[in-house]
Structure 1
Amino acid sequence: MLSVLASTFDILREWQKRTENAYVPLPDSALAEDAEGWPFFPVSTVAWSGLIAASDHLSAIRSHIEARDLFPLAHLTLCRSALVGAAQATWVLAPNDRQERVRRGRTVASYLYKYHLNFLRKLQGSSDEPHIGTDAVAALVEQRRGELRAIREADDDRSELNTTEMIESAAWSAFAEQKKVDETLLAWQGGSGAAHGQPWPLFGTPGTVQKSVPADGLAEFQAGGSLVRIGNYYMAAFYLTEHAWTLFERRCAIAMPGPPTV
């Protein structure tokens, strides 16, 4: 398993280099046209944010593996975050129909504004004194959220982001095979269990051993880090990220004029 995971590391380093700077779509590219649908957090930014998140979390796992420092739960959580980022990028970029890409991008942006504003309101409430910077950001996020809501309602779009459905749709785009889609969803569910502090993702997996013989039906188990345990999780996130990069490069391309007719 180590050789399989290690074979991806040079690609991860390249992804990290690509995402060091902000991305601005080239004029006349599909992503530049998509930005007209909501320029304040356009499809390109939604996708770029997802690619950054995926590359960042996978690279964290790479660093741990290279340092030979494995964690039973944390790596499942890192895989989960990478999977969500890759799915977000794939989901908004996959449709060939521009209107559908814009609709999906707006759906993610709406989700972002909602939870960012929730955080800012909590931050404001936790302070004894007003903070001009926090107040200004909260006001702008609330304004953008309202503007986007009005645009979406005018298009009769009241959909909300469902992360499980987003991941399933993205997995179909990347893998087009029921078994691999199912494995991707299992990685999402197991990673979510780990992220929420639940032990069940470790049950019955390599690296988990029974430490005592139960006399009363209750036994002690011990779990350590395991490359085999995270193998499917990691590769699902990696391949989905790779697919997202392919889609991103396709949408970045500028349509070239065809040959002249005579």
Structure 2
Amino acid sequence: MNPRSNFIQKFNSRRDTLRSLLCIGLDPELEKLPKVSLESKAPLVHFTETIIRYTNSYAAAWKPNVAFFERLGAEGYFALEHMVRVMKDVSPEVPIVMDAKRGDLANTSKEYAKYFFETLGVDALTVNPYMGRDSLVPYLDLGGYIFVLGLTSNPSSQDFQKQKLLGKDLYLYEEVSDQMARLGEEYPNQVGLVVGGTHPSEIQSLRTRHPNMYFLIPGFGAQGGDLKSIVKASGNRSLINSSRGITLSSLEENYGQVAQKKAEEVHKEMNQLFL
């Protein structure tokens, strides 16, 4: 039996130390990187290492998005793996949530789980529940922590997630949350939910429905979510993510210092809102 994830323990400790829920996302879109990074031999390595070293003091968690690395093939995977090593070296106490949104057959999920939890050694992973329970269990059997897509922050989330189930007075995202809560009873401290920060009233409803579940909340900052509303609705069992609003806030050579200042601003605001 594989040891169970210590993600919750790491996050709780970091959250309480900083009095913050700030999850810093790294979405290094190549076309938007500062010139000084683009002119380096390895742009993603240069950019992500700079951001990590300047902002780690304010990170309650990291959330790199694998898509921005995969597009570059072998070079991108090298940068991804280097970034994870830097995170562990600079701030080993900060949990790493890999944003990959994987969702596939059970045997394929097992291979994804081995890469992210064994090879990379990240603390948590975002996954898609559309294929059902047997596509999720391999991550849990390996001891990993998963954040399951529930109600996402994009405008088209209503296309499927806000459809009512036939014969039930439930939206699909509510049914997903209920099933994940039951799965979490089988695998304690291993199952959380992704809930978009652009839906504060739904966050509040889900928090009432699942008071002990941990939420990963993207959509704050560049996507328009209001921090005060999100914190009030979600409580402290939440990771509130900001990516572009911090990491891509400058194209100048001092972009690391600018990102540090942005992270500090969010940190101070969260200190005031901390429950």
TM-score category, normalised to shorter length: under 0.3
The structure number with the bigger radius of gyration is 1
Q: Which has the higher strand share?
A: 2
Give the number of the structure with larger relative contact order, counting CA–CA contacts within 8 Å between residues 6 or more apart: 1
Q: Which has the higher helix share?
A: 1
Q: TM-score, normalised by structure 2?
A: 0.25
